[in-house]
Chain A
Amino acid sequence: MKKSLFFALALLLACGTSHASEKIRIGLMGPMTGSWASEGAEMNQVLNLLADDLNARDGIPGKTVEIVMADDGGNPRTAALAAQRLATQGIVAVIGTYGSAVTEATQNIFDENRIIQVANGSTAIRLSEKGLPYFFRTCPRDDEQARVAVQSIEDRGVERLAILHDSSTYARGLADEARQLLAGNPDIEIVFFDALTPREQDYTAILTQMRRSSPDLVFFTGYYGEAGLLLRQKRDMNWDVPFMGGDATNNPDLVKTAGVAAASGFYFLSAPLPQDLPGEETKAFLESFSQRYGNPPNSIYAVLAGDGFRVVTEAIARTNSTDADEVSDYLRNELKGFPGLTGEISFNEKGDRVGEVYRLYRVDDEGQFILQP
């Protein structure tokens, strides 16, 4: 009898100590299945690494952070379900997701449940124009990218510009925005504006059509797969017009698809690549990521998800609160110049990230991505 009482007490104590560090749950909503699955997998890796690191150094005193993952499948219907599920799991904030339409399907669900949402790859402008108090994003908006794109196009003294997109939400938005900004510039004429069909193998038809309008520069706003094919087929037809891409062309697979010779000289816009990021913390992060998973992170969006996690945990630690209003108030008004993995982070009153993020990159003769001054 005494013995069993002792055991019961010991058990109680054990339970007591394990509950002493309170758990803070942070959601991750990402495309773990579907066509963007590689992005989702890397987001998951980054967040788990950061959470373990934070817990190891007791980043939020007396509390541990736990990541709750939900798959949005890259599809609005699945995402709405994933968001409903996360909302019932007692999370304080959610990081994600990647696609803009997918994020849009979940915004109201998180807002109604008073959960902070920090999107990492959704660049569509309208997401932050709705005045939702708990919505933030660490990635820049399409209009910011279009502004930088137009700036670099003007700097190159281009007179005849071709714009090519792929009708996806993102590519179309960027192309439209760039066209609008250029409308005010009498020196640049847009001689071609059209879309290709993604996931085809042969783009010579549209390249020939584009060649007839003899542009000085082609601005392709679509994704890296098509960009690689375009570059290779452009070279095959001996057309030496320079190409520039949006940030969705930023992926090492571009060089693999196009071949080094065809890819060299290709310009693209991107948030700074992980290896070009200054700051000791970023270097340490990249090192521990490579150590744990065998390679550095490929996608900047996964690192941006990491930044979302870091600002949220910073806000929780500083306010010592998990109340959505207090945390979002801190993020909006007090967090200024936070040393993020992708540079300094501050948010404006809409929840958008402030400051210049985009840089111009060029592929060199060895297929490396070189930051342009």
Chain B
Amino acid sequence: MIQYKTIALIITTGILAVLPQFLNPYWVDVLNNIGIYAILGLSLNIIVGHTGLFNLGHASFFAVGAYTAAILNTQYEIPVLWLIPVCGLSAGLFALIVARPIIHLRGDYLCIVTIGVNEIVRIALINNVFGLTGGSNGIFGIDRPNVFGMTLRTPMEFYYLILAFGAVTIFLFRQLEYSRFGRALNYLREDETAAQGSGINTAHYKLAAFVVGAVWAGMVGNIYAAKMTIISPESFTFWESVIIFVIVILGGSGSIPGVILGAVLVVGLPELFRDLANARMLVFGAAMVGMMIFRTQGLLPQRPRKYTLPQGRRNGEGGE
């Protein structure tokens, strides 16, 4: 079983590594967008999928990261990729401040507050808060990222950057999922009272989930800013939060492959339908409605955890 998985992993990595050689820059750039949204989806997955907190304001954390990168890069000329940890920290800090007073809210109430936070961030950016965000013009002239003396320009070069970042994300989030921390989050999602009864500090874990998700969204914001070289408030609207949320729910909340599949569909399908011109968003919407009717749990939902019992017990119980 493990052997199969390793082989599958090696084959997938191999395919992903050589894929851009066979595609034109447009499709590579579509893959880049899918990658960015997949990582955003994975970061939201910690909050929505694992902990069960409805967050419809994820684009605000993404925005904080992107603007941190843009401001520090254009004002102090710090190389943009060095700022990845700073962007993560600023987004995490922002999430901590925002989420601390509201974390005890349940379900839809929390959801409404996060929508509000998203709008506040967007309008603050438009109003050129502290004279730093450039108002509705946004910030332009962000440097291209530099990796080991090579400046990344083409979609293919960004592809490998995003692929590497995505691989690290998947690895770390998988570790998180199977850790004590991940189990605690799932426990919270399934039954908060029982979790509390078992000695889980609910407020602490919920807040931690929020901050971890936000830190990751902030780091993606950095890569997004570096890739676009211009960011403006239009990129961080409520609609963006909805898209990230849809990726998680549609693909299967709590499951890493599910979220990646969700990103492929939500970001990739409108591009596949480009030839339908005006009807493309219509077809896209219809496809989403169809999928939600026939698979409410998401396309690849989280599988139940499996643990092999120790050898001795197993015999005593008479097998599985």
List the interface of chain A (C-beta within 8 A of B). Answer: 32-33, 41, 69-71, 74-77, 80-81, 84-85, 87-88, 100-101, 104-105, 108, 112, 124, 126, 167-169, 172-173, 195
Interface stretch among B48-56, B172-180, B272-280, B300-308?
B272-280
A33-B281, A71-B274, A76-B234 known; 4 new pairs, CB 8 Å cut-off, are A41-B278, A84-B26, A84-B29, A169-B232
Contacts of A87 in B (CB 8 A): 25-26
Is A81 a contact partner of B232 (Cβ separation < 8 A)? Answer: no
Question: Contact at A71–B26, with CB atoms within 8 Å?
Answer: no
Residues of A within 8 A of B277 (CB): 32, 69, 71
> Are B278 and A172 closer than 8 Å at their CB atoms?
no
Per the bound structure, the CA–CA distance linking A76 and B234 in Å amounts to 8
Bound Cα distance A87, B28 (Å): 13
Of B133-141, B182-190, B194-202, the one touching chain A: B133-141
Cβ contacts under 8 Å, A71 to chain B? 274, 277, 280
Q: Which 8 A-B pairs have the closest CB atoms?
A: A85-B26, A84-B26, A84-B29, A88-B24, A88-B26, A101-B232, A169-B136, A169-B137
Contacts of A69 in B (CB 8 A): 277
Asked if B155 is an interface residue, CB under 8 A from chain A, the answer is: yes
Chain B count of residues within 8 A CB distance of the other chain: 29
CB distance from B238 to the nearest CB of A (A): 13
Provide the bound-state CA to CA distance between A71 and B126, in Å: 25
Beyond A84-B155, A101-B230, A172-B135, whether A70 also contacts B274 by CB under 8 A is yes
A89's nearest neighbour on chain B, judged by CB, is B26
B211-239 CB mask vs A (1 if < 8 Å, else 0) is: 00000000000000000111110110000
**CB 8 Å contact bits of B155-180 with A (1 = contact, 0 = none):** 10000000000000000000000000
Checking A80, A88, A167 against B127 with a beta-carbon cut-off of 8 angstroms, the contacting residue is A167
Q: How far is the CB of B236 from chain A (nearest CB, A)?
A: 10
Indicate whether A108 sits within 8 Å of B26 (C-beta atoms), given known contacts A32-B277, A169-B137. Answer: no
| Distance A80 CA – B155 CA, assembled complex (angstroms) | 11
Interchain CA distance A70-B278 in the complex, whole Å: 10
Query: Bound complex: CA of A101 vs CA of B281, how far in Å?
Result: 22
Contact with A81, one of B26, B127, B230 (Cβ below 8 angstroms): B26
B30 at the interface (CB under 8 A from A): yes
Q: Hey, what's the 0/1 contact readout for B128-155 against A, CB within 8 Å counting as 1? A: 0000000111101000000000000111
Looking at the assembled complex, report how far the CB atom of A168 sits from the nearest CB atom of chain B, in whole angstroms. 5
Instruction: Report A206 CB to chain B, min CB distance, Å.
Output: 15
